[in-house]
Amino acid sequence: MRKYKREFIARRAAREIRDGSYVNLGLGIPVLAGRFIPDGVDAVLISESGIQGFGTLPPKHKGDPDLINAAKEPVALTSGASLFSSLDAYTIIRGGHLDLCILGGLEVDERGNLANWMLPGRMVNGMGGAMDLACGAKRVVVAMEHTTPAKKPKILKNCTLPLTGLNVVHRIITELAVIDVTTQGLLLREIASEVSVDQVCRDTEADLKVDKDLKIIQV
């Protein structure tokens, strides 16, 4: 069930990837989205490990230990790829050169604040590149499950966890809804076919405005 949910979110998130764009996919659901990029969309994936242009390894290929993605998994270069140092990787990321970054999320709030790197009571692993990605990409989409495993809302009036970035999120994609962060607050743009607006609002702590042109999520 959870697997289905994650795949659904990933499929919808993949539809954010535009033809001709340079894209970074964060760990978890966003990486899955890389497998569902629609046919005919020619986008280039950027990895903070130092790659422009990569994809999954061919079946049974064990990979090259010198060629990994940000999750430290072996990957394959695509034709026309280029390789660079961490310094160049963050010039791309922080310098506003990325068209889109899809990130995972623990919490997002009404002002587009994002928390996705630290859970209380857990060992602090570090933010890695998440803070740079959140503040540097032209467009930041958060792809995450709508509620926590304990069914608590993750879309809040105010984030409670340590932040990754302030006012950075443009769009939130979950298994229930697609929500945009606007200057007037959160706007419900799309909704899953089997749920009602009331249901989405029940599982969301933040106030939601409903788009006049509310659509059903297509994946």
- Annotated catalytic sites, by residue? 48
**CA separation for the pair 22, 24 (Å, rounded):** 7
Given CA atoms 79, 21, 168, 170 in this order, what sign does their dihedral have?
A: negative
Q: Which two tokens stand for residue 89?
A: 């990787």
Question: Nearer to another protein by C-beta: 124 or 197?
Answer: 124
Single out the segment in contact with another protein by CB under 8 A; choices: 138-146, 149-157, 159-167, 185-193: 159-167
Amino acid, single-letter form, for residue 131: M
Element spanning 29, H or E: helix 29-33
Work out whether 32 is an interface residue with another protein (CB under 8 A): yes
Q: Which two tokens stand for residue 83?
A: 């390789």
β-pairing verdict for 177-182 and 185-191 = antiparallel
Question: Nearer to another protein by C-beta: 93 or 200?
Answer: 93
Query: Residue 29 — φ and ψ, nearest 5°?
Result: -55, -40
Residues 165-184 that bind another protein (CB under 8 A): 165-166
Work out whether 132 is an interface residue with another protein (CB under 8 A): yes
Work out whether 2 is an interface residue with another protein (CB under 8 A): no
Residue 58's nearest CA partner among 72, 34, 74 is 74
Inter-residue contact 138 to 98 (CB < 8 Å): yes
Work out whether 44 is an interface residue with another protein (CB under 8 A): no
For residue 201, the minimal CB distance to another protein (Å) is 28
Candidate list 61, 202, 209, 215; residue touching another protein; CB under 8 A:
61
Candidate list 24, 47, 52, 174; residue touching another protein; CB under 8 A:
47
Residues 85-124 that bind another protein (CB under 8 A): 85-87, 89-90, 93-94, 113, 123-124
Question: Nearer to another protein by C-beta: 168 or 178?
Answer: 168
**CA separation for the pair 115, 198 (Å, rounded):** 25
**CA separation for the pair 82, 216 (Å, rounded):** 39
Positions touching another protein (CB under 8 A) are 3, 6-7, 10, 31-32, 35, 47-51, 56-57, 59, 61-68, 71-74, 83-87, 89-90, 93-94, 113, 123-132, 135-136, 162-166
